Structure 1
Amino acid sequence: MRIKNIKLNLKNIVIWFKNSIFIKNMLIVMSGTALAQIIGFALTPIISRLFTPADFGIFGSFNAVSGVIAAGVTLEYSQAIMLPKEKRDAFDVLFISCIATLIISLLCALICLVTPTYMMEIMNAPGRWVLALLVFTVLITGFNITMQSWCVRVKAFKQTSASQVIRSVSSNAMQIGLGLFKTGSVGLVISSVLADLFASINLLCVFWVDFKTSAHQINWYRIKQLARDYIDFPIYTASGNVINALSMGLPVLLLANYFGIIVAGAFAFAERILSAPMGLVLRALRQVLFQKAAETDHHGGSLLALYIKVTAGLFALSVIPSVILFIWAPQIFALIFGHKWLIAGEFASYLVIWLTFMFCNLPSLLFARILRLQRQLFIFGIILLSVRTMALVIGGMHMTASFTVFLFSVVGAIMNVIYIVIVGLVLMKKEGKDTWKDLAHLMKEG
């Protein structure tokens, strides 16, 4: 009888997977992301032999600075596109996001014109051309984020999936082509910028259809009202994203300062390799889960069961690969990418401690926005930036590069666990679930 029940439960799970729109949408996005990551990973052994750790150090510094600015380029009104029930209101929010992108990009250009030397020193830039590419990157990233949010809103998951493939193919192809001509860090930066542009053009095709039918409905009075209604996004979410991006970019910048550009390049390369398989799941899940959670919230459904299932599923998915990389990452890196990347493999074995819990942290970040916990997220981001900076500075002044990366990773892992628990407790309180018995019953129903 027990075996029969197990078979029946397995059959029900298979049926649910087949019929679940959430799973279907996620698989659509994952298919494109998977292809993009496979292409990128397959070509990385070639790219790693065409560029040096110093090249990746400069590229990493450029990404760190552009990432900080781009983190707040839409003032996070792009995330608010998902929240209005009416499509007309969502279109007005998208318009606000585009205006914010233009303003921030102009401010970035002004800063580069006024303090070019300072900006070049931060990025370890080999020439002023980097400043022009920085402004262009910020502008393209802002529009890309906005268009992607709109595609998720209208469930155009095939187009978002295709954009990932376009970005990966164009970026890796240009890196190989420019690498053969010994362009160094210039080739890495230009390839990245143009790849983002091509991916954005693909997303723009989806938006253009809606623009032609909705442009006449743009209402300036309603735009001002919506900008006020979602003012917590620029105040807390955008600020929090900038702080988080700063704490993510600090390792490359501070490692370059304390240990040299080669060490910073090894760190940037290790993070790039480990982020690739994570991106396979997270890019797809970010789009589909945010849409699913927002829809569930609109209909008064339970978010807690979805939160627990997805978080636990991500942890289960990451355990075995994380253990393998923690033990054998140096040998794997040296074998696949060449002996000059051995130190990158050593960094990777430590970074996996942090990245595993960051991987599991995605649902808490998305659900915090739906719960409008922007203020709490902002405060948490400040604390996270402070402890990460302390870890890097103390390590840089008194320890080796490897132990500094290890300390940074452990601190990041602990902070991610704390945030996962905090959001879970808020959801429990919101839905009146106070005991483990209530949670077990809710999970069984879900």
Structure 2
Amino acid sequence: MKIKEKFYSINNNTFFKSFRSLALGSMISQTITMLMSPVSTRLFSSTELGIYTLLISFSAIFEPVICGKYDLAIVRAEEKEVKPLIQGSFLFSVFFSIIISLLYCIFLYLNPTIYSSIGFVAWLLPIMLLITSVNNILTSYNNRESEYKIISQSFVIKSASQNLLMLIFGLLNFSTNALIYSKYISNFFGMGKQSKSLRLRRLGLMQLNPLEIRGSLFKYRNQLFFNMPAQFLNSLSYSSLNFFISALFGIHIFGYYSLTYRMLGLPLTLISVNMSKVFYKNAVEELNRFNNFKNSFLKSFMFLSIMASLMVIILVIFGPQLFSIVFGSEWGISGEYIRILAPMYGIRLVTSALTPSLIVAGKQKYEMKMQSMFLAFSVSSFFIVRTFNLGINYFLLLISVLFSSVYLVSLYNFYKISKKSEGYLND
């Protein structure tokens, strides 16, 4: 009877209900992606997938920081600050998109193969960055209002639309453009559902008050000066691997790695990203009540560690065989890559979900140092491999070992931060 009561208690716990809502949507959307992946590896060549991944990698560097990370402040802001933060986040994204567009022109100039393969479609990126900023803002607002079911449903809608469009355009022989069209167009789906509660509040978002916007942006300036650079370095350190691999070993080999990159990203999206939202909200609430958030940290850590361990064991033992069966015999090489990287991604899954500890404690400065180490190790690995003319397996092994060390040290520091009982936000 006690076991049954305990299960009922856990099942109805706010923490697990929130995660379950988010995880369900992610599970469905990622299942759709996984089911369509064997189709994509048969519709598109390694080179086509490589070009697509390289292009998306450029946008992936900027998508998480397009709003200056002010969108995250919406979750814990006072009620009167919500409107100016939403407006300020979008206005910042417009300004930042202009700067990114200039960098993008340089990127296309240095990579003529990409532009010659996809043509004018390449210029959709700046527009899509603005759409991404709206999605980021809406997700933060949904998180503030605990609308996890809506976030979950939007995951499913976007994933289903992207994969359906990919199939249609792929069958029409759109080549790499099929992947790009499906990625970009799907960003519009689900926005109506996510914005419903915000529209019902009639905040008058078109009515700008410069003083209020400036005041809110100044109050949460740590988001811009510390959290944004740290997130940017994080995105850059991982996306830079794509550029380094394509430069060292060519687009064809990079295409095989791109499948590894996409498959390892699925559990991060399914578990880590969703868990971080729930952990962040619970940690803030615990901090306000007890002046620390140790319980939220440990509860999340135990759950994430179990999930990560299962993922790593399966991929290390069965990776090459699974990839050969599911994606086709030629893609077994991607399974070899995943075997090397799986341990590091398992540690990353846990650490990434608990990184909001730094935001909760007002210690964003540490995250910037952590991400600087990732970028330094990426660049160092590139030059080591190029200098000694090593193969891709050595490059991936170097990355796996070096990145894992940074994650483990960071995880220990997060735990120490969660135990403190002094006023964090005054640091």
Short-chain TM bin:
over 0.9
Report if the CA contact (8 A) 1:244-1:385 is conserved.
yes
Unpaired segments ≥5 residues, structure 1: 1-6, 433-446
Q: What does residue 438 of structure 1 align with?
A: none
Report if the CA contact (8 A) 1:78-1:93 is conserved.
yes
Alignment pair present for 1:53 and 2:43:
no
Correspondent of 2:380 among 390, 399, 403? 390
Alignment pair present for 1:42 and 2:35:
yes
In 2, the alpha carbon distance for the partners of 1:121 and 1:353 equals: 35
Quick one: structure 1 residues 154 and 261, their matched pair in 2 at CA, closer, same or farther if it must change by over 3 Å?
same
Alignment pair present for 1:92 and 2:65:
no
Aligned CA RMSD, in angstroms, stands at 2.2
Alignment pair present for 1:408 and 2:399:
yes
Q: What does residue 443 of structure 1 align with?
A: none
1:239-258 aligned within 5 A: 239-258=229-248
Following superposition, the deviation at residue 242 of structure 1 comes to 1.1
Q: What does residue 196 of structure 1 align with?
A: 187
> Which one-letter code corresponds to 2:240 in the other structure?
L
Q: What does residue 161 of structure 2 align with?
A: 170
Quick one: structure 1 residues 344 and 31, their matched pair in 2 at CA, closer, same or farther if it must change by over 3 Å?
same
Corresponding residue pairs, total: 422
Following superposition, the deviation at residue 205 of structure 1 comes to 3.0
Report if the CA contact (8 A) 1:278-1:359 is conserved.
yes
SS class of match (2:373): helix
In 2, the alpha carbon distance for the partners of 1:365 and 1:246 equals: 17
In 2, the alpha carbon distance for the partners of 1:217 and 1:16 equals: 46
> Which one-letter code corresponds to 2:98 in the other structure?
L
Q: What does residue 270 of structure 2 align with?
A: 280
Correspondent of 1:104 among 84, 96, 103? 96
Range with greater deviation from structure 2 (389-398 or 185-194): 389-398
Report if the CA contact (8 A) 1:314-1:360 is conserved.
yes
Alignment pair present for 1:186 and 2:186:
no
Alignment pair present for 1:118 and 2:103:
no
Following superposition, the deviation at residue 179 of structure 1 comes to 1.4
Q: Could you give the per-residue CA deviations for residues 85-131 of structure 1, whole angstroms, max 9, x where no partner exists?
A: x2221232121111111111222334445x47436449676244243
Q: What does residue 331 of structure 2 align with?
A: 341
Q: Percent identity?
A: 20
Q: What does residue 260 of structure 2 align with?
A: 270
SS class of match (2:355): helix
In 2, the alpha carbon distance for the partners of 1:11 and 1:396 equals: 59
Q: Could you give the per-residue CA deviations for residues 396-435 of structure 1, whole angstroms, max 9, x where no partner exists?
A: 4421112211211121211111110111122234469xxx
> Which one-letter code corresponds to 2:332 in the other structure?
L
Alignment pair present for 1:153 and 2:144:
yes
Correspondent of 1:13 among 1, 6, 28? 6
In 2, the alpha carbon distance for the partners of 1:23 and 1:404 equals: 39
Q: Could you give the per-residue CA deviations for residues 204-228 of structure 1, whole angstroms, max 9, x where no partner exists?
A: 3333223x14549864322211211
> Which one-letter code corresponds to 1:223 in the other structure?
I
In 2, the alpha carbon distance for the partners of 1:295 and 1:125 equals: 52
> Which one-letter code corresponds to 1:102 in the other structure?
V
> Which one-letter code corresponds to 2:28 in the other structure?
L
> Which one-letter code corresponds to 2:349 in the other structure?
F
Q: What does residue 4 of structure 1 align with?
A: none
TM-score by length of 2: 0.92
Report if the CA contact (8 A) 1:57-1:252 is conserved.
no
TM-score by length of 1: 0.89
Q: What does residue 229 of structure 1 align with?
A: 219
> Which one-letter code corresponds to 2:99 in the other structure?
L
Quick one: structure 1 residues 412 and 123, their matched pair in 2 at CA, closer, same or farther if it must change by over 3 Å?
farther
Quick one: structure 1 residues 308 and 392, their matched pair in 2 at CA, closer, same or farther if it must change by over 3 Å?
farther
